[in-house]
Amino acid sequence: MPQKLDYRKETPSQTAGPYVHIGLAPGAAGFDIYGNELGRDIAGPHAPGERIRVEGLVYDGTGAPVKDVLIEVWQADANGIYPHPEDPRYGKVARGFRGWGRVITEFDTGLWGFETIKPGSVMGRNGRLQAPHLNLWIVARGINLGLNTRLYFADEEQANAADPVLNLIEQQHRRATLVASREMRDGKPVYRFDIRLQGENETVFLDV
């Protein structure tokens, strides 16, 4: 007999359920308990970069909005630096930039939205730059294991065309499911990103 490998197994995931807000955003559940609800401000007031708004809907396979979804965002600052010690440029991250946010819906419509700054290009593997993107993690009732995906920006056409992750998507028309469209509203840029869990134009989800 060979020696025994003694790795442990990752704890299995379970759905976040319909009442995820109690734990992660109690204000949305309807009560006030914590001095500081986490994830409300991704970029902070001082970080340089283009201030943007991102909004959208998550649809289920029948085409109905998923009204109880919760999304977490993780992103780099405008210079492409993540506020995490593992980023080699960590010391130069924008002041007050958190890079992480929690996004909840309006329960009646399922519409969600958040303000942040547009990230810069970030380092990829083997020295290949990745196009600016937001990393998203989606949980809800009916989702057994959080879904990872990325949001890219429609006005970064050239960078998107060279992005190593987008280029991995074999069916070229599906790449568009990861690209948010841009419009100006009252002089401010707003990106629209709809996520389709299933069916026609199903969003590309990632095994990271």
Give, as ranges, the residues between 3 and 42 that touch other proteins (CB under 8 A).
6-24, 26, 29-31, 33-36, 38
Residues 6 or more apart in contact with residue 18 via CB below 8 angstroms: 68, 141
What CA–CA distance (Å, rounded) separates 144 from 147? 9
Please identify, among the stretches 46-54, 153-161, 164-172, 180-188, the one whose residues bind other proteins according to the rule CB under 8 A.
Answer: 164-172
Shortest distance in whole angstroms from residue 54 CB to other proteins: 17
Instruction: Provide the minimum distance between the beta carbon of 40 and other proteins in the complex, in angstroms, as a whole number.
Output: 11
Q: Which positions from 176 through 195 interact with other proteins, judged by CB under 8 A? A: none
111 binds other proteins (CB under 8 A): no
Residue that is written with structure tokens 């790449």 in the block:
175
Least Å distance between CB 187 and other proteins?
30
161 binds other proteins (CB under 8 A): no
The whole-angstrom separation of Cα 203 and Cα 169 is 11
- Burial of residue 17, with CB atoms counted within 10 A of its CB: 0-12 exposed, 13-18 middle, 19 or more buried: middle
